[in-house]
Chains A and B, each alone.
Chain A
Amino acid sequence: MTDRRHRLDELLRAKEGDAGCNAGEEILDAYVELELAGEDPARVFPGTAIHLQSCPGCKADHDGLLEAARRFGDLDLG
Chain B
Amino acid sequence: VSAEPGQTGREMHDAESKGWVEQLRSGHPRHEQAVARLHGVLVRVAIHELSRRRWQLASIAGPEFDDLAQQAADDALMNVLRKLEEFRGLSRFTTWAYKFVIFEVSSKVARHAWRRQPPSSEELDWHELPDWLAPRPGDQLEQREQLEALSAAIGELTDRQREVFVAIALNDVPIDVLALRLGSNRNAVYKNLFDARRTLRSRLAAAGHALIEEDAIA
Contact surface of A with B, Cβ cutoff 8 Å: 1, 4-5, 7-9, 11-14, 16-34, 36, 44-48, 51, 54-58, 60-61, 63-65, 67-69, 71-73, 75-78
Contacts and interface: CB of A to CB of B under 8 A. Distances in A.
Contact of B106 (A8, A54, A61): A61
A43 to B, nearest CB: 9
B127 to A, nearest CB: 16
B175 A57 contact: yes
Interface in B16-48: 16, 19-20, 23, 30, 33-34, 37, 41, 44-45, 48
Contacts of B49: 64, 68
Contacts of B96: 29
Q: How large is the interface on B (under 10, 10 to 19, 20 to 34, 35 or more residues)?
A: 35 or more
Nearest to A48: B4
B91 A57 contact: no
A69 B94 CA distance: 7
Given A20-B190, A57-B186, A8 B90 contact: no
Contacts of B37: 75, 77-78
Which DSSP category, helix, strand, loop or mixed, fits chain B's interface?
Answer: helix
Given A20-B3, A33-B90, A75 B103 contact: no
A55 B16 contact: no
Nearest to A16: B2
B174 interface: yes
A23 B201 contact: no
Which one of B4, B102, B103, B187 has the highest number of Cβ atoms from chain A below 10 Å of its Cβ? B4
Contacts of A26: 4
12 contacts: A7-B132, A9-B212, A17-B2, A18-B194, A21-B187, A23-B4, A45-B7, A48-B4, A51-B1, A64-B102, A67-B52, A72-B45
Given A30-B91, A75-B94, A78-B33, A9 B105 contact: no
Contacts of A5: 211
B92 to A, nearest CB: 6
A45 B195 CA distance: 22
A5 B213 CA distance: 13
B168 interface: yes
Contact of A19 (B1, B48, B102, B133): B1
Contacts of B2: 16-20, 47
A52 to B, nearest CB: 12
A30 B4 CA distance: 13
B95 interface: yes
B186 A21 contact: yes
Interface string B183-199: 00011001101110110
A28 B101 CA distance: 13
